[in-house]
Amino acid sequence: MSHPDIDEVRRYFMALQDRICTELSQQDGKATFMEDNWQRDSGGGGRTRVLTDGAVFEQGGVNFSEVYGDSLPASATASRPELAGRSFRAMGVSLVIHPHNPYVPTSHANVRFFVAEKAGEPAIWWFGGGYDLTPYYGNDEDVIHWHNIAKQACDAFGDTVYDDYKRWCDEYFYLKHRDEPRGVGGLFFDDLNTPDFDTCFALVRSVGDSYLSAYQPIVQCRKDTAYGERERDFQLYRRGRYVEFNLVYDRGTLFGLQSGGRTESILMSLPPLVKWRYNWQPEPGSAEARLYEHYLKPRDWLN
């Protein structure tokens, strides 16, 4: 099938949001996701769900949105000028989970679908998405598990898919002004529209469905690890890098703001507490230094 089934994509995305919220709420054991349904003045809307001050998760947001309009914003056409002037429909699920415990990494995931149309010409459609992991105190076992699940999600779609999407993730989630990765990577892909709709949609479902399998075991293993003021302080400092990336580079944030999306939903990805320090450097030989020396280095974690 080459013609996209928008209704089928919508049903999957909304069911994925339901499933992730249910399972993360159960894992937290204290807080549940509150829901806001919102409408966009120029077309579309969404369903924002946010969990705050849980037993495990300090804040988590899992959003579904579907917006449409007469022309794509600049963030969507910067690398594809042929799309300028086309009407569009964009939908997806985006989530960011910020845990309390500094030994539990922050995680992000996103799956999205775009259709761009122009009278008299065939519609152009594509998928994008992926997920990445941002530890504060890294653990090799966790990172290898994360990448193993990511590779399993890709394996049925080609021998090089995981390697290609891992490399793309390493390159995308990179803070150029800091000359460092945001975390230990995962998967990232965009402009996916070959060989056909069914295959592309199956890959997106495989990635979306694998997120909980990748993240929940890590949370379960690390959520009760003892920590003190030093670890918490470092977590808040490193969260600043997350804020910098999302506000300076993230395409989803830029698209949402430029397309007139709901600001509260777009910025739910930001952590509730964060610190910046002037020219701070970790103590040589410390656990904090190990994050920079061992984990914030793109590498083949599976070999």
Q: Which residue positions form the known binding site?
A: 94, 98, 108, 110-112, 147, 177, 260-262
Return d(Cα 133, Cα 182) in angstroms, integer.
8
Return d(Cα 68, Cα 259) in angstroms, integer.
9
For residue 83 the two structure tokens come to: 């799309």
**Contact (CB, 8 A) for 250 and 34:** no
- Cβ within 8 Å of residue 41, ≥6 positions away: 260
* φ, ψ of residue 88 in degrees (nearest 5): -145, 160
Say what the alpha-carbon torsion angle 133, 139, 142, 148 is, to the nearest 10 degrees: 90
| 108 is an active site residue | yes
Look at residues 27, 178, 181, 167 and name the one whose alpha carbon lies nearest to residue 104.
27
Return d(Cα 155, Cα 207) in angstroms, integer.
11
Residues of the binding site for a divalent metal cation: 98, 108, 147, 177
Look at residues 60, 44, 41, 43 and name the one whose alpha carbon lies nearest to residue 52.
60
b/e map of 125-151 (b: 16 or more CB within 10 Å)? bbbbbbbbbbbbbbbeebbebbbebbb
Tell me the angle at which helices 197-222 and 6-28 cross, rounded to the nearest 10 degrees. 10
For residue 78 the two structure tokens come to: 């910067």
Residues of the binding site for substrate: 94, 110-112, 260-262
Q: Which one of the listed residues 3, 108, 145, 294 is annotated catalytic? A: 108
Given CA atoms 261, 35, 246, 10 in this order, what sign does their dihedral have? Answer: negative
For residue 264 the two structure tokens come to: 């509260």
Active site residues: 108
